[in-house]
Amino acid sequence: MRFFSDNAAPACPEVLAALASVNTVDTAYDGDRWSQSLDARLSALFETDVKALWVSSGTAANCLALAALCPPHGAVICHRDAHIQNDEAGAPEFYTAGAKLLLAEGDGAKLTPEMINAVLAATRNDVHQVQPHAVSITNATEYGLVYTPAEVAAIGDLCRARGLGLHMDGARFANAIAHLGCAPADVTWRAGVEALSFGFIKNGGMTAELLVFFKPELAAATYYRRKRAGHLLSKGRYLAAQILAMLDGDVWLRNARAANAGAAMLAAAAGDRLVHPVEANEVFLKVTSQEAATLRAQGFDFYDWGPGEARLVVSWQQGETDIRPLADAIAAL
Amino acid sequence: MRFFSDNAAPACPEVLAALASVNTVDTAYDGDRWSQSLDARLSALFETDVKALWVSSGTAANCLALAALCPPHGAVICHRDAHIQNDEAGAPEFYTAGAKLLLAEGDGAKLTPEMINAVLAATRNDVHQVQPHAVSITNATEYGLVYTPAEVAAIGDLCRARGLGLHMDGARFANAIAHLGCAPADVTWRAGVEALSFGFIKNGGMTAELLVFFKPELAAATYYRRKRAGHLLSKGRYLAAQILAMLDGDVWLRNARAANAGAAMLAAAAGDRLVHPVEANEVFLKVTSQEAATLRAQGFDFYDWGPGEARLVVSWQQGETDIRPLADAIAAL
Amino acid sequence: MRFFSDNAAPACPEVLAALASVNTVDTAYDGDRWSQSLDARLSALFETDVKALWVSSGTAANCLALAALCPPHGAVICHRDAHIQNDEAGAPEFYTAGAKLLLAEGDGAKLTPEMINAVLAATRNDVHQVQPHAVSITNATEYGLVYTPAEVAAIGDLCRARGLGLHMDGARFANAIAHLGCAPADVTWRAGVEALSFGFIKNGGMTAELLVFFKPELAAATYYRRKRAGHLLSKGRYLAAQILAMLDGDVWLRNARAANAGAAMLAAAAGDRLVHPVEANEVFLKVTSQEAATLRAQGFDFYDWGPGEARLVVSWQQGETDIRPLADAIAAL
Amino acid sequence: MRFFSDNAAPACPEVLAALASVNTVDTAYDGDRWSQSLDARLSALFETDVKALWVSSGTAANCLALAALCPPHGAVICHRDAHIQNDEAGAPEFYTAGAKLLLAEGDGAKLTPEMINAVLAATRNDVHQVQPHAVSITNATEYGLVYTPAEVAAIGDLCRARGLGLHMDGARFANAIAHLGCAPADVTWRAGVEALSFGFIKNGGMTAELLVFFKPELAAATYYRRKRAGHLLSKGRYLAAQILAMLDGDVWLRNARAANAGAAMLAAAAGDRLVHPVEANEVFLKVTSQEAATLRAQGFDFYDWGPGEARLVVSWQQGETDIRPLADAIAAL
């Protein structure tokens, strides 16, 4: 009964089936019919012309996006707790050839225009300081909070006014959309987002993530950068197939809704123990080390998240049967 | 009837089956039991202690190896026709943070100590010139030639004497071993190779390649570089499973032998048309554009390879039924 | 009457004279007799075998040092107010090929082992996080504080215990030594410093700074990196000459003592207005904007340094005649 | 009697005098009046609006120019014997974050549109190959040949047609202009050059080189890159002063004419021994090792330049008294 990470979850059956269905001779790299269909398929989903590139990790998607938005001598503003700052081993610096991340403060890893403005105000506009070129936000955030279209639009307006690019790390984008119930366009390009890391792996995929550019011209150099980073896989159809399988019939939303529902069940049981509101599939609890041990003794695995806190992540395949015992155990603490 | 590229081939059934077999909850990244078993499994295969890291492309394997062997201010000697020079979009320069490739001449993309010495002799040993730190050879080469253990050992001796690292791009390593019939150790570390890109994808794999370090200490920084490059996939067990499935029961050799046999059949039909001896699964033919058109009119697809030449690549799943018609068509030209 | 920056000061007469004295035909780059004498000259000064490389800016000295101590996938711990973080336009990230700076807190831009340990404790030792490889401290600090030999040694001990390199940004090293009165060795290698950016320009030099390695092996790759960064000047003797002229007869200490004395005179006048103790040649004052205007109306120029503060920097050539009027004006506020 | 390199020559008296003349308190970095005057001064010289940035080496000027013209994933076409390929220790790869140099063939290190077209034709226009973004030519070339305005314009036309930037390495630009007798504009921007490394050091300067952008917008990011590379010197007025001193009264042309005249005297003596026509200040001679020894025995120092060749470089301060003995010695061989 693992609640460590949605990366621990298996791939959903549609993904496995899709791999078998494309297991024929076809063109190498991204020349196959499935890869070639992605632009159109995602343009339909997002109701605008997009460029969509598969890669094999969220880190690659994020950092290709950042490299498209920020030159080597520039900076990207992100939250202090952002995945790109803490959990990608310096990949942003690698892909951008040395850009800096400028860190903003804020509860729940969620940014506001005020927080971004505080970073901007701390930067002198001279040649001695690294100048911000982009903002990166995570939706749902690293603490499971969801930006609404209006919240993103407020940041998007600031970015437009200040000439900054706007990237959304959507490792849990499906969970955010499942929570919001809005059109994917509403919380992305309509709100000013220029590049989206559209996550599939945590949500029931296997090895395919998607980078979506809402400004198609941003993609031009990215095709080269993807190859140069070793992410233009030679049998790319097996990535395209995973993505298409999850878009077909809205499997991506089905999976995300299931995970969100599980987290909501835990949240209901947790009550005042919640560190953050539960809006996606992550639950952060205040627990003593004694209480954490009690839960673990019942077979529930999860990460400690700083002193006195625990992180529980629900994944797409954990149904009520899996969740109920943990919810009960939490309520019983 | 495609003879464009072994990347066009499907994955072999064992690989697909393996994906299903690991499709359970397990630890993320490379913490799962399959990924964790790779060092031991490959150490057994190579009869020495190795470190083995999966990645999702041959480009990533090659360039992580080069980054382990060459500092940003150094150079790697390779053949003018090497894949790392011509077909990886500058990935070596990206991964090494700007090292140079110094190009050697030689027939069939195959290097000898003499060719490497010619490059070394052309480099002044002063601070104004980029100094060689490593040699990279491809086995089987980009023209389908296979280095013997003795040939590699001659290069390995030179490298040792000159303090150079030695990398082998084994995108078609299986085809080389199938041709040589030797132990994998003989043509790698026993001959001085320090890092091997062990290719699986062209040989019936799907999305998993393997980087093998015969000097385990070279791997230490590579774990960080892999993550930093976005190649530490979050569900790495699906890569490990592909590799293990192809090692089990020597599927990798079975596949490579089949491809080599098909190429040999074409070679026998081609006779004097051969540009290079056929030792692996690639066949380079002298054909007029008229003759190439004749073959294509019969449904055979392949790449032109410079004026008057064509490249035919046989893949693991092309049996005699697939090959015979092409062999006959070549003989009939 | 400029108190903006010691970079505004002219070069001292010995430096100008030295340029004329080497203005003859000699070997290019660093092959001339003056450049070749630096290792021995600095080894004598520091009482140990060092390697000493001239460069043309403090940024180059700092960042070549960092690149010698930290790999592209690593991190350097420094103070939040460090020059390398705020005033070098991302040069550390450029020279190191993307290493991160991890920021420590602390008054007066001065670090203690506790502050460094706090950063270390916040870094998980796994492949997802950038691992610290070095610490960089500035002596005198960006706020004019001086590390004593014991304070540096405490950091040096921590670095040794944790396997971290230790760099000292000595843009105002001369001012620190003038304040401490100790041997240069005491506050550098004897205290664990491995690389020193030994500043001359702010202290009466013109265009020459010096990078000193106390571990000679660290210099090996730096000769290449210096050339690669465009800092192996083709007529290097004009840099060597500046440095030698300032070492001869301890001009460097004479200049620093003069500047420190001027700052001390201002400090005495400032009394409670001091934000930090004045230990080198920088004075930070609490002043209202009204008071700042009053000083400026009398012809004194300086930078505001955040709200309610002003920075006054005294340089080597500002004698009592220059300082007294400002001291009086401050006292009269 | 050194004919090794024009870098061995001293600085001319005007340069030394200029250093003394600016040795006063002024604004740091490039905020001083001399640095601030460069754009206008060079715009007048080149008869168009330019941006002019001092740096402290030709390598820095060249590589900042390349970084402005070529992205990290691109390539620069240059001659196989170009300084940027052979004598800058990988600085182009460093400054561009990993761009490749694609090498063209041609006599005397001089390119023609045909040679550039041959490189372009060898590059497939796909994502697997590094795509050319710029061309770099050296005027005068590494073998002392001078491009005429028409020759540059032919390359400039090709670059414009193919969307390539055009850089001129003018380490010996003064020698080229002295030979051509044309307006500096004619062989630069009027012929399609976008960025010029305008060399002063070899021609009697001390530590200042100049980067001139004929497309001012190319300079915007370069101000940041210069700082980031450690080439925004803190007392930049001492670089500006050197350049201004050599522009005033056409000292740069006077010096270059003197060096060219000396080389012409040697060329006249050398007759059939000349490997290349002598158009600037370099003379390449066919000499046996016996003959080279004979010259050296008479006190003449120079570099061997491959088997059977010697390179003699005349510098600005070598008058007839210095040259005549060598000319006679060559004639007497």
Tell me, yes or no, whether A174 and A261 share the same domain: no
Number of domains in chain C: 2
Cβ-defined contact of B73 to C131 (cutoff 8 Å):
no
Chain A environment of D228 (Cβ under 8 Å): 73
In a domain, C2, yes or no: no
User: What does the buried/exposed string (b/e) look like for A251-278 if buried means 16 or more CB atoms within 10 Å of the residue's CB?
Assistant: bbbbbbbbbbbbbbbbbebbeebbbbeb
Q: Report the distance separating Cα A215 and Cα D10, nearest Å.
A: 55
Tell me, yes or no, whether D214 and D102 share the same domain: yes
| pLDDT tens figures, C25-79 | 999 999 999 999 999 999 999 999 999 999 999 999 999 999 999 999 999 999 9
Cβ-defined contact of C56 to D19 (cutoff 8 Å):
no
In a domain, A198, yes or no: yes
Distance from the D55 Cα atom to the nearest Cα atom in chain C, whole angstroms = 9
Mean pLDDT on B27-31? 95
Chain C environment of D3 (Cβ under 8 Å): none
Tell me, yes or no, whether C151 and C294 share the same domain: no
Cβ-defined contact of B127 to C225 (cutoff 8 Å):
no
> Which site among A59, A100, A127 would you substitute to test the C interface, given the most C Cβ atoms closer than 10 Å to its Cβ?
A100
Percent of chain C with pLDDT over 70: 100
Query: Nearest-CA residue of chain B relative to D97?
Result: B98
Distance from the D240 Cα atom to the nearest Cα atom in chain B, whole angstroms = 27
The helix/strand/coil state of C258 is helix
| pLDDT tens figures, C66-103 | 999 999 999 999 999 999 999 999 999 999 999 999 99
Contacts of C295 (CB under 8 A, 6+ apart): C287, C302, C310, C326, C329, C330, C333
User: What does the buried/exposed string (b/e) look like for D276-303 if buried means 16 or more CB atoms within 10 Å of the residue's CB?
Assistant: bebbbbbbbbebeeebbebbeeeebebe
Q: How far is CA A302 from CA A282, A288, A324, A325, B255, in A?
A: 11, 14, 16, 14, 42
Q: Report the distance separating Cα C283 and Cα C307, nearest Å.
A: 16
Cβ-defined contact of D99 to B90 (cutoff 8 Å):
yes
Q: Which residue has the tokens 């210069």?
A: D226
Residue D232, chain A, CB below 8 Å: the answer is yes
Q: Report the distance separating Cα A25 and Cα A7, nearest Å.
A: 30
Report whether D100 contacts B93 (CB < 8 A).
yes
User: What does the buried/exposed string (b/e) look like for D40-75 if buried means 16 or more CB atoms within 10 Å of the residue's CB?
Assistant: ebbbebbeeebbbbbbbbbbbbbbbbbbbbbbbbbb
Residue C191, chain B, CB below 8 Å: the answer is no
In a domain, D117, yes or no: yes
Tell me what the pLDDT averaged over chain A comes to: 97
The helix/strand/coil state of A312 is strand
Q: Report the distance separating Cα D137 and Cα D194, nearest Å.
A: 12
Chain C environment of A97 (Cβ under 8 Å): 97-98
Under 8 Å CB pairs connecting chains B and C tally to 32
Chains that touch B (3 or more CB pairs under 8 A): A, C, D
Tell me, yes or no, whether C286 and C257 share the same domain: yes
Q: Report the distance separating Cα A277 and Cα A264, nearest Å.
A: 10
pLDDT band at C306 (very low <50, low <70, confident <90, very high): confident
Chain D environment of B126 (Cβ under 8 Å): none
CA angle C90, C92, C96 (to 5 degrees): 125
DSSP run (H or E) holding A138: strand A131-138
pLDDT band at A306 (very low <50, low <70, confident <90, very high): confident
Residue A131, chain D, CB below 8 Å: the answer is yes
Domain boundary among B187, B218, B249: B249
Domain boundary among D249, D264, D294: D249
Tell me what the pLDDT averaged over chain B comes to: 97
Which backbone phi and psi does C301 adopt, to 5 degrees? -105, 140
The pLDDT assigned to D54 comes to 98
Q: Report the distance separating Cα A255 and Cα A251, nearest Å.
A: 6
Instruction: For residue B37, count CB atoms less than 10 angstroms from its CB and return exposed for 0-12, middle for 13-18, buried for 19 or more.
Output: middle
Of A16, A201, A231, the CB nearest to B230: A231
The helix/strand/coil state of D101 is strand
In a domain, A43, yes or no: yes
Residue D142, chain B, CB below 8 Å: the answer is no
Of A87, A96, A130, the CB nearest to C129: A87
Q: How many CB atoms lie within 10 A of CB A119?
A: 18
> What tokens were used for C237?
């003797």
- pLDDT over 80 (residue A242): yes
The alpha-helical segments, DSSP class H, found in chain C are 13-21, 33-36, 38-46, 58-69, 83-86, 91-95, 113-121, 149-162, 173-180, 219-228, 237-247, 251-270, 289-297, 320-331
Strand partners, C103: C78
Of A89, A99, A100, the CB nearest to C130: A89
Query: Nearest-CA residue of chain C relative to B229?
Result: C73
In a domain, A4, yes or no: no
Distance from the D143 Cα atom to the nearest Cα atom in chain A, whole angstroms = 35
Mean pLDDT on A37-56? 98
Tell me, yes or no, whether B226 and B134 share the same domain: yes
The CATH number covering residue A211 comes to 3.40.640.10
Q: How many CB atoms lie within 10 A of CB B44?
A: 11
Tell me, yes or no, whether B162 and B282 share the same domain: no
Cβ-defined contact of A90 to C128 (cutoff 8 Å):
no
- The sheet that has B282-286: what strands, in order across it? B282-286, B309-313, B303-304
Report whether B289 contacts B279 (CB < 8 A).
no
- pLDDT over 80 (residue B207): yes
Cβ-defined contact of D224 to A98 (cutoff 8 Å):
no
Of C9, C89, C206, the CB nearest to D228: C89
The pLDDT assigned to D10 comes to 96
Chain C environment of B127 (Cβ under 8 Å): 223-224, 226-227, 232
Which backbone phi and psi does C5 adopt, to 5 degrees? -165, 145
Report whether C70 contacts B224 (CB < 8 A).
no
Chain B environment of D94 (Cβ under 8 Å): 72-73, 98
The helix/strand/coil state of D214 is coil
> What tokens were used for A244?
């298409």
Q: Tell which C residues from 42 to 81 touch D, by Cβ distance under 8 Å.
A: 55-61, 63
Angle between helices C38-46 and C237-247 (to 10 degrees): 30
- The sheet that has D309-313: what strands, in order across it? D282-286, D309-313, D303-304
Total residues found in chain B within this entry: 333
Cβ-defined contact of C227 to D25 (cutoff 8 Å):
no
pLDDT band at C330 (very low <50, low <70, confident <90, very high): very high
Tell me, yes or no, whether A317 and A168 share the same domain: no
- pLDDT over 80 (residue B1): no
Q: Which amino acid would we find at residue D170? A: G
In a domain, D270, yes or no: yes
Domain boundary among D249, D276, D311: D249
The helix/strand/coil state of A210 is strand
Strand partners, A274: A285
Chain B environment of D129 (Cβ under 8 Å): 86-87, 89
Percent of chain B with pLDDT over 90: 97
Cβ-defined contact of A98 to D97 (cutoff 8 Å):
yes
Report whether C148 contacts C122 (CB < 8 A).
no
> What tokens were used for D188?
């630069």
Q: How far is CA D2 from CA C167, D10, D276, in A?
A: 40, 12, 21
CA angle D244, D246, D247 (to 5 degrees): 65
> What tokens were used for B82?
């090497």
Tell me, yes or no, whether C128 and C262 share the same domain: no
Report whether B3 contacts B303 (CB < 8 A).
no
Q: Which residue has the tokens 């590799």?
A: B243
Distance from the B285 Cα atom to the nearest Cα atom in chain D, whole angstroms = 21
Cβ-defined contact of D227 to A98 (cutoff 8 Å):
no
Tell me, yes or no, whether C67 and C19 share the same domain: yes
Which of A204-213, C153-162, D1-10 is the least confident region? Answer: D1-10
Of A29, A127, A131, the CB nearest to D232: A127
In a domain, B3, yes or no: no
The helix/strand/coil state of B254 is helix
Residue C93, chain A, CB below 8 Å: the answer is yes
Chain C environment of A72 (Cβ under 8 Å): 90, 94
Instruction: Domain of residue B32: give its range.
Output: 9-249
| pLDDT tens figures, C167-215 | 999 999 999 999 999 999 999 999 999 999 999 999 999 999 999 999 9
The pLDDT assigned to D278 comes to 98
The pLDDT assigned to D5 comes to 85
The pLDDT assigned to A219 comes to 97
Residue A127, chain C, CB below 8 Å: the answer is yes
Residue A98, chain D, CB below 8 Å: the answer is yes
The CATH number covering residue C300 comes to 3.90.1150.10
Q: Report the distance separating Cα C283 and Cα C3, nearest Å.
A: 10
The helix/strand/coil state of B148 is coil
Strand partners, D310: D285, D304
Q: Report the distance separating Cα C127 and Cα A88, nearest Å.
A: 9
Distance from the D127 Cα atom to the nearest Cα atom in chain A, whole angstroms = 5
- Residue D88 has what DSSP assignment? S
The pLDDT assigned to B48 comes to 98
Prediction ipTM score: 0.97
Cβ-defined contact of A229 to B94 (cutoff 8 Å):
yes
Contacts of B297 (CB under 8 A, 6+ apart): none
Cβ-defined contact of B98 to C97 (cutoff 8 Å):
yes
Tell me, yes or no, whether D170 and D275 share the same domain: no
Chains that touch D (3 or more CB pairs under 8 A): A, B, C
The helix/strand/coil state of A245 is helix
Per-residue pLDDT of chain D (333 residues; tens, 9 = 90+): 788 888 999 999 999 999 999 999 999 999 999 999 999 999 999 999 999 999 999 999 999 999 999 999 999 999 999 999 999 999 999 999 999 999 999 999 999 999 999 999 999 999 999 999 999 999 999 999 999 999 999 999 999 999 999 999 999 999 999 999 999 999 999 999 999 999 999 999 999 999 999 999 999 999 999 999 999 999 999 999 999 999 999 999 999 999 999 999 999 999 999 999 999 999 999 999 999 999 999 999 999 998 899 999 999 999 899 999 999 999 999
Tell me, yes or no, whether A107 and A156 share the same domain: yes
Cβ-defined contact of D100 to B94 (cutoff 8 Å):
no
Instruction: For residue D17, count CB atoms less than 10 angstroms from its CB and return exposed for 0-12, middle for 13-18, buried for 19 or more.
Output: exposed
The pLDDT assigned to D2 comes to 84
In a domain, C58, yes or no: yes
Mean pLDDT on B21-35? 96
Under 8 Å CB pairs connecting chains A and D tally to 33
Of D27, D58, D230, the CB nearest to C59: D230
> Which site among C36, C55, C127, C228 would you substitute to test the B interface, given the most B Cβ atoms closer than 10 Å to its Cβ?
C127
Chain A environment of B232 (Cβ under 8 Å): 57, 59, 89
Q: Report the distance separating Cα C115 and Cα C119, nearest Å.
A: 7
Q: Which residue has the tokens 């043509």?
A: B187
Tell me, yes or no, whether A201 and A53 share the same domain: yes
**No. of helices (H) and no. of strands (E), chain B:** 14, 10
